[in-house]
Structure 1
Amino acid sequence: MQQKQNYIYLGTILGISLIITGSIFGYALYKSRVSDTLSVTGSAKQKITSDTAKWTATFNRTVPQDSLKSGYSMMKADELVIMDFFKTNGVLEENINFLPIYLEDQSRYNPQAPKEYYLSRTVQVNLNDVKKITDLANNFQPIVDKGVTFSTQSLEYFYSKLPELRVALLSDAVKDAKTRASKIAEGTGKSLGVIKSASVGVVQVMPLNSVDVSDYGAYDTSSIEKEVMVTVKTAFRLR
């Protein structure tokens, strides 16, 4: 009976030893594989010129609360003045969008304020002619000269071929990652093997010479001349 217990005890110890040995060997193999992997980020940039633009402006009127009908009539007259300005400068009606009129009671939050209504309306103009829309945004004095309270909210510039450019830059970013990885591998005395994995980073559309990037991507709309950057995170086998 005692001898049988000894055999059981010996078998248990042997089993545990084999498990420990296997674990150590497996960990060593894992570390070996991990150490033979090199992670590198590659990037590619290209300068672009915006080919579309959106100009957003507003105009408004303030009228006594008992003259709301008159206020809407004045807003309509202002709309016609603005439309005439755009048509005179060669902007097609299909490129002009007037949003609904916004109405605010000036005395809503302050009973002491005058009993007046504030009416405002936003107009947006989209053009593929960046120079023309920029010139118009800088020279809308004829609208103001006709008594319209008109002001610019924003002037935004875009690049319509960004999706195609992004695809083209991805290839260059992978090449850049491979070049960097090869230089690093040389320094370790190893050579670069096949690519193990690759993941695409966010797209950065920035003003020229800018270093203001974002983890979530960026799209600058304030400048005509921009720079597009694409990054790729890669992992290569080392030999």
Structure 2
Amino acid sequence: MEQVNRGKYLVICAALLAAALVVCSLILANPLDNYATSRAAITVTGSAKKQITSDLAVWRGSFYQESVNLQDAYTNLKSDLAKVKSYLVEQGIPEEQIVVSSITTMPQYIYNPNGISTGQIASYRLMQSIEVKSNDVQKIAAIARAATELIEKGVIFESMQPEYFYTKLNDLKVDMLAEATKDAKQRAEKMASSTGSKIGALRSARMGVFQITPVNSNDISDYGINDTSSIEKEITAVVNVEFGIE
């Protein structure tokens, strides 16, 4: 009889324990579901593009003279510099915008038939360069193309490719990032709505690199691109954004 009563007791205890576990699971289920929902998030990449026109040009050119006599080379180079300055002023460049470098002297040595320097100087080559910075980018572009006209004046002149910059870039970056973030939000809303959800608060945003490329260029780099070869450019801003899901 004791064994029967004990068996009934164990059965009742087991039933009560099972019921308690069921109740606990029901109580915990809703908070866990809410926690999982609160942690749900979506990460998207947004971008914004804008075409910009360079407002600063930097142009460089160089010229040289060579003579067996160092003094003659210097005198001729000085004459060439005067011709270069005069030419640029005629083209509308204020003389104060013309920056002249120091003179570089390069002795030209005599080599024997085996290509070994004898240590004897055959002549002296003196080189000098100029630099012009201007906000009139179109004028600089035209001068850079035409500057070889100096050769007709007896100047051995080499014109470099101008570099073009946009000086208001830092101000523009703020607006570009705002546009990229707006684009990211729109993308997130479309993705969330496709699953019947809504996006919540912005949780994090990480700025990507800026790509400044020639217009219609497909160039891209993980480290960013800063094109200086073209007057008309396109700037692309990228942000990685995380939104909560409701």
Same fold (TM over 0.5): yes
Would the aligned equivalents of 2:181 and 2:239 in 1 still touch at CA under 8 Å?
Answer: yes
Would the aligned equivalents of 1:103 and 1:119 in 2 still touch at CA under 8 Å?
Answer: yes
Instruction: Find the counterpart in structure 2 of residue 171 from structure 1.
Output: 178
Instruction: Find the counterpart in structure 2 of residue 111 from structure 1.
Output: 117
Instruction: Find the counterpart in structure 1 of residue 210 from structure 2.
Output: 203
Percent identical residues: 39
Would the aligned equivalents of 2:144 and 2:161 in 1 still touch at CA under 8 Å?
Answer: no
Would the aligned equivalents of 1:43 and 1:174 in 2 still touch at CA under 8 Å?
Answer: yes
Which of 61, 83, 87 is the aligned partner of 1:81?
A: 83
Instruction: Find the counterpart in structure 1 of residue 201 from structure 2.
Output: 194
* Distance in 1 of aligned mates of 2:173 and 2:217: 19
* Distance in 1 of aligned mates of 2:131 and 2:56: 13
Q: Which amino acid aligns with 1:37?
A: A
Higher alpha-carbon Rg: 2
Q: What's the CA shift for 1:232?
A: 1.0
Q: Deviations 1:171-195 (Å, cap 9, x if unpaired)?
A: 1010000001111112233210100
Instruction: Find the counterpart in structure 1 of residue 102 from structure 2.
Output: 100
* Distance in 2 of aligned mates of 1:150 and 1:166: 39
* Distance in 1 of aligned mates of 2:167 and 2:182: 25
* Distance in 1 of aligned mates of 2:62 and 2:110: 22
Q: What's the CA shift for 1:108?
A: 8.3
Q: Deviations 1:86-123 (Å, cap 9, x if unpaired)?
A: 11122112211111122222228841696222221121
* Distance in 1 of aligned mates of 2:143 and 2:82: 17
DSSP-derived class of the 1:115 partner = strand
* Distance in 1 of aligned mates of 2:89 and 2:200: 63
Would the aligned equivalents of 2:144 and 2:160 in 1 still touch at CA under 8 Å?
Answer: no
* Distance in 2 of aligned mates of 1:33 and 1:95: 64
How many residues matched? Answer: 210
Instruction: Find the counterpart in structure 1 of residue 222 from structure 2.
Output: 215
Would the aligned equivalents of 1:53 and 1:130 in 2 still touch at CA under 8 Å?
Answer: yes
Per the normalisation by structure 2, the TM-score is 0.78
DSSP-derived class of the 1:106 partner = strand
Q: What's the CA shift for 1:53?
A: 0.8
Instruction: Find the counterpart in structure 2 of residue 46 from structure 1.
Output: 50
Would the aligned equivalents of 2:110 and 2:122 in 1 still touch at CA under 8 Å?
Answer: no
Q: Which amino acid aligns with 1:224?
A: I
Which of 142, 146, 163 is the aligned partner of 1:135?
A: 142
Instruction: Find the counterpart in structure 2 of residue 25 from structure 1.
Output: none
Runs of 5+ unmatched residues, structure 2: 1-31
* Distance in 1 of aligned mates of 2:38 and 2:198: 15
Q: Which amino acid aligns with 1:170?
A: L
Would the aligned equivalents of 2:37 and 2:245 in 1 still touch at CA under 8 Å?
Answer: no
Per mean C-alpha deviation after superposition, the further-off stretch among 91-100 and 133-142 is 133-142
- Whether 1:156 aligns to 2:160 is no
Per the normalisation by structure 1, the TM-score is 0.81
Q: What's the CA shift for 1:33?
A: 6.9
DSSP-derived class of the 1:69 partner = helix
Would the aligned equivalents of 1:85 and 1:142 in 2 still touch at CA under 8 Å?
Answer: no
- Whether 1:235 aligns to 2:242 is yes
Which of 145, 167, 180 is the aligned partner of 2:152?
A: 145
Runs (4+) of structure 1 moved beyond 4 Å?
none
Q: What's the CA shift for 1:74?
A: 1.2
Per mean C-alpha deviation after superposition, the further-off stretch among 107-116 and 69-78 is 107-116
Runs of 5+ unmatched residues, structure 1: 1-27
DSSP-derived class of the 2:221 partner = coil
Q: Which amino acid aligns with 2:61?
A: A
Instruction: Find the counterpart in structure 1 of residue 20 from structure 2.
Output: none
Distance 1:33 1:58, change over 3 A: farther
